[in-house]
């Protein structure tokens, strides 16, 4: 009896171990298929992101975003759709546009349309979900941005906007001595890649887990009510942060499990464009009426367009299969070796970026910070000696005031755009010599001859971040 019991236990243990190994292998295979399908288009998207960042004329923004009119709102939505900005980078950029002359409606149009798309996420959408879905994302982002901006111009004109200290919100650290092409690659394949790398990895892992754990017919068997499934996806998406690119593989896997195309569109709209931090910042910076028009446009637009897709568009346009995903959604023009090489290159760029960031942080910890300059003042004519021979005594030096270092905590910084925004605007304040922001630790080190914490707090808050006081 004991021998039989031990045999049964052994069989159960081996069986359980075999099931776990099978699930792990399925997860790895699914992750590899997603990565191969996405990588070529993602790399192309990063290149276009660098081109837009380096060569996009600032004068276009000043010319086409300045008026409180429908035309200005439309122009802004069109300009914002291809820009590679997630919601964390969009907020300070939108505030900066408003301060530099853009109307409030134009700013809100930018805040709605930009995070839903981006050239990188559109490339990934085309690779995983097909051309119809990529085109629909562009159309929906444009329409919801225009409606939200126009509604803001109508109902939120009197909302007070807190942009007193806001400056240039989103600047890449360009090395002017380098060529434009170098800056394109540096931004696209390092700065922007590292901004979304964490969220991209998280999105792929979530997609891989969902592919393993959710039954293939889950949504058709247990949640076949399409309006209810759209509402559930909306409720889950609004408070959470999902960047536009990372949300695509999740949507693809859920559609393979039976999720309707309309519900997938809700995820792709509400996930990137809304999250708890963004909602808080918009209310604080732009006002309650602006927040109402912002959220109302996104939520109503997501449900409306999701319903229209499910009702009127052929399901064949959105048909996905495991085999289609394995072959990069029927794009046979891309050979498998090219997909594998692209995936390896993408992984290498991400690892290299993290190593580089670690080395930079380590170097910053040991770097001796020095003031910007030593003040040098020649003597006036009345103070000069009567002889003409120049000597060291002809000159006087004034030593710089001693610097005080203060470290403050600033919540809400998540990327290089946030870092550049905080550093740029604090450096513009009087008596501040050096600012170093670290989004990973939420700390900002300030060297200054005199510290005005109230002004620093106002500047940080006006950019949409949360000032949490002095750390040391």
* Residues facing 445 on adjacent strands: 407, 436
- Tell me how far apart the terminal alpha carbons of the chain are, to the nearest angstrom: 69
Residue 3 belongs to a domain: no
State residue 331's pLDDT score.
Answer: 46
* Residues facing 437 on adjacent strands: 444
Nearest-angstrom CA–CA distance, 232 and 422: 36
CB 394 within 8 A of CB 365: no
Do both 313 and 346 map to the same domain?
Answer: yes
DSSP E strands in 139-281: the ranges are: none
Nearest-angstrom CA–CA distance, 203 and 249: 7
- The 8-class DSSP code of residue 318 comes to G
- Among residues 313, 322, 118, 109, the alpha carbon closest in space to that of 200 is found at 118
Residue 436 belongs to a domain: yes
Do both 138 and 254 map to the same domain?
Answer: yes
Do both 96 and 157 map to the same domain?
Answer: yes
State residue 169's pLDDT score.
Answer: 43
CB 98 within 8 A of CB 107: yes
State residue 184's pLDDT score.
Answer: 86
Do both 268 and 299 map to the same domain?
Answer: yes
Do both 175 and 291 map to the same domain?
Answer: yes
Of 354, 389, 416, the last residue of a domain is 354
Residue 200 belongs to a domain: yes
Residue 188 belongs to a domain: yes
CATH value at residue 413: 3.30.70.100
CA distance readout (Å), 446 to 38, 372, 426, 454, 465: 41, 13, 8, 14, 16
Do both 377 and 429 map to the same domain?
Answer: yes
State residue 195's pLDDT score.
Answer: 80
Do both 338 and 412 map to the same domain?
Answer: no
- The 8-class DSSP code of residue 415 comes to S
Q: Residue 374 belongs to what domain range?
A: 368-470
Do both 301 and 433 map to the same domain?
Answer: no
Q: Please give the tally of structural domains in the chain.
A: 2
**Residue 468 — φ and ψ, nearest 5°?**
-115, 15
Whole-model pTM: value is 0.72
CB 272 within 8 A of CB 340: no
The encoded tokens of residue 167 equal 């400056």
Contacts of 385 (CB under 8 A, 6+ apart): 393, 394
The encoded tokens of residue 412 equal 């809400």
Nearest-angstrom CA–CA distance, 249 and 161: 37
Neighbours of 100 (CB within 10 A): 17
CB 437 within 8 A of CB 422: yes
Strand, helix or coil for residue 216: coil
- Among residues 121, 53, 111, 52, the alpha carbon closest in space to that of 87 is found at 111
Residue 43 belongs to a domain: yes
CA angle, residues 406, 412, 418, in degrees to nearest 5: 80
Contacts of 27 (CB under 8 A, 6+ apart): 208, 209, 211, 212
Of 323, 354, 385, the last residue of a domain is 354
Of 325, 354, 383, the last residue of a domain is 354
Do both 321 and 424 map to the same domain?
Answer: no
Do both 204 and 57 map to the same domain?
Answer: yes
Do both 340 and 378 map to the same domain?
Answer: no
- Among residues 414, 77, 117, 168, the alpha carbon closest in space to that of 278 is found at 414
Residue 1 belongs to a domain: no
Q: At what angle do helices 226-237 and 288-312 cross, to 10 degrees?
A: 150
State residue 178's pLDDT score.
Answer: 62
Averages of pLDDT over runs of 10 residues in the chain (472 residues) are 53 62 83 86 84 70 62 85 75 70 81 88 90 94 93 73 45 53 87 83 85 76 81 86 85 90 93 80 80 91 94 89 50 76 93 89 61 46 51 54 84 77 84 85 86 86 81 80
Residue 300 belongs to a domain: yes
Neighbours of 425 (CB within 10 A): 22
Do both 110 and 221 map to the same domain?
Answer: yes
- Among residues 31, 54, 252, 38, the alpha carbon closest in space to that of 127 is found at 38
Residue 135 belongs to a domain: yes
State residue 398's pLDDT score.
Answer: 54
């Amino acid at each position: 009896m004991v021998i039989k019991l031990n045999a049964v236990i052994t069989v159960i243990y081996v069986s359980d171990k075999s099931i776990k190994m099978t699930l792990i292998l399925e997860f790895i295979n699914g992750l590899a298929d997603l990565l191969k399908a996405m990588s070529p288009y993602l790399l192309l998207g990063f290149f276009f992101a660098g081109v837009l960042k380096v060569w996009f004329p600032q004068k276009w923004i000043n010319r086409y975003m300045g008026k409180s009119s429908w035309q200005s709102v439309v122009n802004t939505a069109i300009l914002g759709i291809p820009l590679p900005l997630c919601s964390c980078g969009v907020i300070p950029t939108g505030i900066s546009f408003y301060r530099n002359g853009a109307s409030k409606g134009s700013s809100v149009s930018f805040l709605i349309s930009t995070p839903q798309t981006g050239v990188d996420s559109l490339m990934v959408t085309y690779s995983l979900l097909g051309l119809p879905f990529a085109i629909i994302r562009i159309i929906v982002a444009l329409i919801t941005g225009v409606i939200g901006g126009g509604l803001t111009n109508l109902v939120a004109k009197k909302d007070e906007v807190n942009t007193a200290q806001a400056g240039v919100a989103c600047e890449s650290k360009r090395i002017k001595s380098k060529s434009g092409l170098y800056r394109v690659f540096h931004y696209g394949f390092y700065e922007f890649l590292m901004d979304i790398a964490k969220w991209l990895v998280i999105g792929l892992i979530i997609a891989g887990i969902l592919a393993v754990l959710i039954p293939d017919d889950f949504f058709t068997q247990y949640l076949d009510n399409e309006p209810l499934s759209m509402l559930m996806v909306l409720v889950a998406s609004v408070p959470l942060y999902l960047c536009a690119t990372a949300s695509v593989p999740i949507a693809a896997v859920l559609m393979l499990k039976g999720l309707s195309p309309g519900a997938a569109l809700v995820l792709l709209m509400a996930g990137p464009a809304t999250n708890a931090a963004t909602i808080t910042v918009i209310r604080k910076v732009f006002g309650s009426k602006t927040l109402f028009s912002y959220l109302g446009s996104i939520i109503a637009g997501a449900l409306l367009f999701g319903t229209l897709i499910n009702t009127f568009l052929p399901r064949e346009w959105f048909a996905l299969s495991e085999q289609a995903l394995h072959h990069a959604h029927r794009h046979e023009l891309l050979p498998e070796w090219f997909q594998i090489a692209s995936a390896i290159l993408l992984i290498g760029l991400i690892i290299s970026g993290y190593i580089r960031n670690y080395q930079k942080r380590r170097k910053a910890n040991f770097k001796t910070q020095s003031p910007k300059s030593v003040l040098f003042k020649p003597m006036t004519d009345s103070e000069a000696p009567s002889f003409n021979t120049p000597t060291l005594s002809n000159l006087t030096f004034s030593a710089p005031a001693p610097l005080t270092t203060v470290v403050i905590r600033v919540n809400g910084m998540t990327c290089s755009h946030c870092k550049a925004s905080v550093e740029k605007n604090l450096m513009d304040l009087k008596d501040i010599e050096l600012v170093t922001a670290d989004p990973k630790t939420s700390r900002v080190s300030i060297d200054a001859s005199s510290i005005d914490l109230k002004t620093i707090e106002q500047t940080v808050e006006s950019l949409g971040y949360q000032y949490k006081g002095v750390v040391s």
